[in-house]
Structure 1
Amino acid sequence: MVSIIIPAFNAEKYLRECLDSAVGQTCRDIEIIVVDDGSTDSTGRIIAEYAARDNRVRPLVQPQSGVSAARNAALRIAGGEWVSFLDSDDVLYPNSIELLLGAAHVSGCDLVYGGWRRGVEFRQIDGSRSDAAPRVCDRLDVIEKVLYQSEGIVPAPWGKLYRRERLRDVCFDEGCIYEDLDLFYKVEGRDGKIAVIDAPVYFYRDTPGSLTNRFSPARLDVLKVTSRLEDFMAKNCPGLLPAARDRRLSANFNMYCLLAIHDRNGEYARISHECWQLIRRYRRESLLNPHVRMKNKLGILVSYLGERMLKAVSPLVYGGSRKNR
């Protein structure tokens, strides 16, 4: 059985579409754990409605505690041998779980990455896929691609299938909005291969009102998360240290530029200064690294023109930041 975990907070706008995609999976051996994270809209009623007509839907209600706490609560009661995560504003394609589970069985891997698409409105695709054959990848290669933000491979837990055992003794960091980046390398870093399929299994909806689509002090968490990530790689996977440093550099670039736009009163001047110092310390290594994406290298080149120039171009790049995972 596969446990599909859906955290939901004030999710009434897209929740029906999300739940329809879960209960309509071609793989029927599933349970759908939907966590109402203290919603004040009709989210709870919608969940109850689906649970009343499909006994595979398992409602779970908790005081508002955040997406990490919701996922952790669902994991504690999940009964499936396999686990997949779905956000309440996103959608699974009808055969997503079937494709992921088939790839796991064919490859013998206990973690499968699926392809994904993004947009505002969900559209169906041809269900017969020729790109669903799994590629078995070394775990370190996958982690490296995530850190370099290449090939569309992301740290988010959605769009993947985990054997429940692989998630043992780990949990999402409650209260951190970069919980996915903080968790993925601890799970993917465990022994074993990872299967990857190119077939889209997940539709990721761009929602302008999401927390990660606007600046807030909570976004500064990424500085701590990428620092911990670098420390982990230094101790456990030293070959990935350049990739971890580049990911940390990227995070410091993002926060420096966002603060240049939004911190008009200088409340976060110390953090901005620390970001600038790290940029100066790490930029040469990333500039000379052939794996670093061009966007990062262009930012590095601008930084060599000084803080004033980097702040001047920040609104052009970050003024309309998108939902970031």
Structure 2
Amino acid sequence: MSNDFDTLTCVINRGVNTGGAMDLSVIVPVYRISGGQLRNCIDSIKKAVNSPHSFVKHGGYEIIVVCDEPQQATGLVRNEMSQIAQDNVRLVFQPHAGVSAARNHGLRLACGEWIGFVDADDLVTENAWDVSSQLLAKKPDVIFFNHFRKYNSLEKIQYWKQDTFTAKSTNSFLRDVLSPGTDQGTVWGKLFRRMFLSENQLTFSEELAIGEDQYFMVQTVLRAKSLASSKSFGYIYSCNSASTVRAFRLDMRERIDKATHYIFEELRDEGLLDSRDGIVRKAFENYLLDRILALTINYYFHPDAPIEIRNKKAYFAFLSSVPYGDALQALSLKSLFHGDGCALPVAKRLTLLCARYHLYQLVKIAAEIRHRELASIVS
């Protein structure tokens, strides 16, 4: 099978320059996606790098498409991919190992000074890499961009209002990466300096099946000597509402716990959870509250969860476990009306307060309402 992958890769990369230095490498992991979606994604990247204001000059870029599912990859190559793998596009294949392994595969092959990650069902805008030469000359380790969320229409998410560069405090960026609802815990909509990633041996944890982006971003910001933000809107994230309705997974708690503890240990070892200003500690509390909600809805009160999970004893034991318990206890009644540092919407704060005060039946009702809402989205 591996020989088949190598043969396909050689054929599909014929004529692509994989040698010299270049400005940008864009890594696109592919798993169970149509050739049409991928073609749209690739076309948007090409359009962006060739825009008049792009920092990419003289065709100095590569798009590395990593197919993570061999059966589908073979079919795509035969039917739809031959036209895609031209003009700076490289196609490589791996036996199914997950998105982290696919991105790491792309990182090992990348030659660009800068690295961008794009999900195959998303798009980049024409302004994706409109970065001023002055900002690039300062060589920040990571550049953050504004983005759009796409439902039925585009929602403009303006997070960075001007081009900024900081070589001092990174706590504000770490807060944004941890806080729910910001989209800053994702690796898309950003540029990473390849030498920075290499020197710090930063790769994606292949042990994580949930939260791999956020853990990577926490590690990245902690190790960065300088960070920047761009006022450009560079990315279009396609929100698939149906994807929030998932079949029950018996290992969901284990998956979320693993990512949570990786991040917890990283922040604790850096002493950031005890820092005087409390910025990171509060952001991590918000992250934990969001994880409590995810497990409440998608695990403990999932309609398909076995009876031994859907009971008070198991749920209350979870709510008091480390590190979730302290975050929940820090939530006050005041937060329901005034926020009090909680970044979540009022309805979610109310559900969390019911959990904090062990109002089991009210939490159950809230979860049932949410599952009915999700079911109506996909029906």
Q: Which TM bucket (shorter chain)? A: 0.7 to 0.9
**Match in the other structure for 2:150:** 119
Query: Would you say 1:2 and 2:24 are equivalent positions?
Result: yes
Q: Is the 8 A contact 1:11 1:43 kept in 2?
A: no
Pair 1:58-2:90 in alignment: yes
Give the direction of change, closer, same or farther, for the CA distance of 1:50–1:196 in structure 2 (3 Å limit): same
Q: Distance in 1 between matches of 2:268 and 2:282?
A: 9
State the 1:86 CA deviation: 0.2
Any idea what the Cα deviations from partners look like across 1:71-105, whole Å, max 9, x if unmatched?
A: 010101111111000000000112312x2475741
**For 2:237 and 2:106, how far apart are their aligned partners in 1?**
21
Question: 1:120-269 to 2 correspondence within 5 Å?
Answer: 120=151, 133-137=162-166, 138-149=169-180, 152-168=182-198, 169-174=201-206, 176-208=209-241, 210=243, 213-217=245-249, 219-220=252-253, 221-236=255-270, 237-238=272-273, 239=275, 240-259=280-299, 260-268=301-309
Is the contact between residue 100 and residue 161 of structure 1 (CA under 8 Å) also seen in structure 2?
no
Q: Paired residue for 2:367, among 300, 314, 317?
A: 314
* TM-score normalised by structure 2 residue count: 0.73
Deviations 1:257-312 (A, max 9, x none): 22213344225458644433245543231436833214253333232261121111
Q: What stretches of structure 1 of length at least 5 have no aligned partner?
A: none
| CA-to-aligned-CA distance 1:134-178 (integer Å, 9 cap, x gap) | 12353211111222226x342110000000122231221225132
Which residue identity does 2:24 align to in structure 1? V
2 CA distance for matches of 1:207 and 1:60?
Answer: 26
When residues 305 and 38 of structure 1 are mapped into structure 2, their CA distance, relative to the original with a 3 A threshold, is: closer
Distance 1:166 1:306 in 2: 48
The amino acid that maps onto 1:250 is D
1:292 aligns with 2:342: yes
User: Match for 1:282: what amino acid?
Assistant: A
* Alignment partner of 1:16 is 2:39: yes
Aligned to 1:48: 82
Indicate if the aligned counterparts of 1:223 and 1:248 stay in contact, CA closer than 8 A.
no
Pair 59,267 (structure 1): closer, same or farther in 2 beyond 3 Å: farther
Separation of aligned partners in 2, 1:124 and 1:267: 41
Structure-2 residue corresponding to 1:70: 102
Amino acid at match of 2:47: G
Match of 1:86 in 2: 118
Question: Residues 191 and 161 from structure 1, CA distance in 2 versus in 1: closer, same or farther, beyond 3 angstroms?
Answer: closer
Q: For residue 18 of structure 1, what is the amino acid of its counterpart?
A: C
Measured in 1, the distance between the counterparts of 2:215 and 2:341 equals 22
Structure 1 residues 36 and 153: alpha-carbon distance in aligned structure 2, compared to 1, 3 A threshold: closer
- Which has the bigger relative contact order, CA under 8 A and spacing at least 6? 1
* Equivalent residues of 1:84, 1:160 under 8 A apart: yes
C-alpha contact 2:28 2:118 (8 A) present in aligned 1: yes
CA contact (8 A) 1:257 1:310 kept: no
CA distance in 1 between partners of 2:95 and 2:221 (Å): 30
Cα deviation, residue 247, structure 1: 1.2
Contact 2:248–2:305, Cα closer than 8 Å, also in 1: no
Identity of aligned residues (%): 23
SS at match of 1:189: helix
**CA separation in 1, counterparts of 2:184 and 2:247?**
21
Note the aligned Cα RMSD (angstroms).
3.0
Higher gyration radius (CA): 2
Amino acid in structure 2 at the alignment position of 1:308? Q
Residues 1:8 and 1:101: Cα distance change in structure 2 (over 3 Å): farther
Q: After the TM superposition, which of the residue ranges 75-84 and 35-44 deviates more from structure 2?
A: 35-44
| Superposed CA offset, 1:20-75 (max 9, x none) | 11122223421000011125444334343222x31x10111111111111101010
Q: Is the 8 A contact 1:255 1:275 kept in 2?
A: no
Cα deviation, 1:230-264, whole Å, max 9, x if unaligned, reads 22212202332332233123202220222213344
Query: Does the 8 Å contact 2:176/2:185 carry over to 1?
Result: no
What is the rounded CA distance, in whole Å, between the counterparts of 1:111 and 1:321 in structure 2? 36
Q: Distance in 1 between matches of 2:316 and 2:358?
A: 16
Pair 1:115–1:225, CA change in 2 (3 A): same
TM-score (norm: length of structure 1):
0.84
CA distance in 2, matches of 1:124, 1:311: 32
Tell me how far 1:209 sits from its aligned partner.
5.3
Label 1:262 to 1:184 Cα distance change in 2 as closer, same or farther (>3 A).
farther
